[in-house]
């Protein structure tokens, strides 16, 4: 093995040649790769080495010697430091190209000949998130809200979260001020002491309804009732919950929810359909881009009104219900019981009678249906980042749907799965959608036809 002539804390001048899938600048030192924070292709930077591994290392920019024309400098470095907006220093059109390139690269690694269309961008790439999970910690003797510095649990105080709905930011700040007023403590991770751990807020983009979940260590906090009454008095809050999480854990929510005031859910709209959202419901966080994503999925499904459609990993039924009026029947599969209940309610709210939702793991349900020789015309999959299980792919081969619409949040696992599926299916194009502007993440819609 070649000796690496680099040490931690060493300062070095680097030429940046590429951008990694995580949005870090890529430099080579005698063939050894360094991934550099706050560095863009074409730049020369003076950096400090922060980590040296066997195959690659990391560095942090100290000074930009030669600047890229694609660099944006009118931003607060807190947004990069906390990981809220790690690509904010890159011009937005270049962010879209970067995300398209992610799909291209991962398909090429799998020897897949698939055309990747330009990324569908956002008209407003800021203030888009409809959900916030904000930690509360005690700093300088008072409860403080903000976001953790990347790869640490050091809280950076923030008033403006940049990519969140401004109404959510305002509510977070108002609750923070109430915590200070009532002298309620923030959480201490090292000792597992304190009162309030997190503030979780959802706001429906099209209706304006807002849900607040206050995550506490106990219901016996002094002045908790006064705090809750003050939050509920805000006319913007449609639904208020308390969630108790007493465990020493990084998991944000505990298992116990208590509705304190208002409705048990909020309601939003997608493509003209109404959707009920409960505290634990999965719901896309960018409402404007979600409509574009789902419209692309509907177009890829290419329905004529007589198809049997399966919506796998369906959540609260948003995709299946959005296309139900173009299909003969839609069946949604979801492993979370509360989401299935919401999906059933959402079908009723919209007067949709040709959609049903069942609780179960997608892998198990489709395996059972394969054994029963069930007919499926169109399969829609929207899996978690880990992609499709190999057993699920075998079930797909047995069920033989005419088309698969694969909605992906991870280009690497998408490419891996498409490479496996191509034994019986052909994908000709994939369309990336920027659901998370200013971040490295990209969603995509890929249509596969049975050979």
Q: Hey, what are 225's tokens?
A: 């009732």
User: What backbone phi and psi angles, to 5 degrees, belong to 105?
Assistant: -65, -45
409 included as an active-site residue: yes
Question: What residues form DSSP beta bridges with 139?
Answer: 142
* Number of Cα atoms under 13 Å in the Cβ half of residue 154: 7
User: What backbone phi and psi angles, to 5 degrees, belong to 56?
Assistant: -160, 165
- Of 109, 258, 277, the closest CA to residue 202 belongs to 277
Vertex 253, ends 247 and 254: CA angle to 5°?
50
- Active-site pick, 409, 412, 419, 450: 409
Dihedral (CA of 224, 225, 230, 235) sign? positive
Assess contact for 333 and 343: CB atoms under 8 A.
no
Q: Hey, what are 344's tokens?
A: 């059933």
Assess contact for 285 and 129: CB atoms under 8 A.
yes
Alpha-carbon span 451 to 282, nearest angstrom: 33
Residues 6+ apart with CB under 8 A from 341: none
Would you please indicate which residues are annotated as catalytic (active-site) residues? 409
């Amino acid at each position: 093995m070649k000796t690496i002539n680099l040490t931690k804390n060493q300062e070095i001048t680097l030429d940046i040649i590429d951008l990694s899938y995580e949005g870090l600048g890529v430099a080579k030192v005698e063939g050894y790769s360094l991934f550099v924070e706050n560095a863009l292709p074409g730049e020369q930077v003076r950096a400090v080495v922060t980590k040296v591994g066997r195959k690659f290392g990391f560095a942090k920019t100290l000074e930009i010697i030669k600047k890229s024309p694609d660099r944006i400098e009118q931003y607060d470095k807190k947004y990069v430091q906390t990981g809220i907006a790690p690509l904010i220093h890159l011009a937005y059109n270049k962010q879209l190209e970067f995300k398209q390139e992610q799909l291209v690269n991962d398909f090429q690694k799998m020897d897949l000949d698939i055309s990747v269309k330009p990324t569908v961008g956002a008209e407003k790439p800021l203030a888009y998130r409809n959900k916030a999970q904000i930690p509360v910690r005690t700093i300088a003797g008072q409860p403080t809200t903000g976001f953790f510095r990347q790869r640490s649990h050091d809280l950076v105080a923030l008033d403006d979260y940049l990519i969140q709905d401004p109404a959510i930011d305002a509510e977070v700040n108002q609750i923070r001020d109430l915590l200070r007023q009532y002298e309620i403590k923030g959480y201490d991770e090292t000792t597992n002491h304190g009162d309030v751990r997190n503030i979780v807020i959802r706001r429906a983009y099209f209706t304006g309804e807002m849900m607040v979940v206050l995550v506490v260590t106990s219901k016996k906090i002094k002045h908790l009732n006064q705090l809750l009454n003050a939050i509920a008095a805000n006319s913007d809050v449609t639904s208020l919950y308390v969630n108790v999480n007493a465990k020493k854990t990084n998991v944000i929510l505990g298992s116990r929810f208590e509705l304190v005031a208002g409705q048990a859910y909020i309601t939003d709209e997608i493509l003209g359909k109404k959707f009920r959202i409960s505290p634990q419901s999965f719901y896309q966080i960018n409402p404007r881009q979600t409509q574009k994503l789902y419209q692309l999925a509907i177009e890829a499904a290419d329905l004529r009104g007589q198809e049997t459609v399966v919506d796998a990993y369906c959540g609260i039924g948003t995709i299946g219900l959005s296309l139900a009026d173009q299909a003969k029947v839609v069946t949604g599969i979801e492993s979370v019981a509360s989401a299935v209940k919401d999906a059933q309610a959402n079908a009723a709210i919209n007067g949709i009678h040709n959609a049903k939702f069942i609780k179960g793991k997608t892998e198990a349900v489709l395996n059972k249906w394969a054994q029963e020789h069930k007919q499926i015309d169109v399969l829609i999959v929207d899996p978690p980042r880990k992609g499709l299980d190999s057993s699920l792919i075998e079930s797909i081969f047995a069920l033989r749907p005419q088309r698969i619409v694969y909605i992906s949040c991870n280009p690497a696992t998408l490419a891996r799965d498409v490479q496996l599926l191509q034994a019986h299916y052909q994908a000709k194009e994939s369309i990336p959608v920027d659901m998370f502007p200013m971040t490295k993440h990209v969603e995509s819609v890929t249509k596969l036809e049975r050979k």
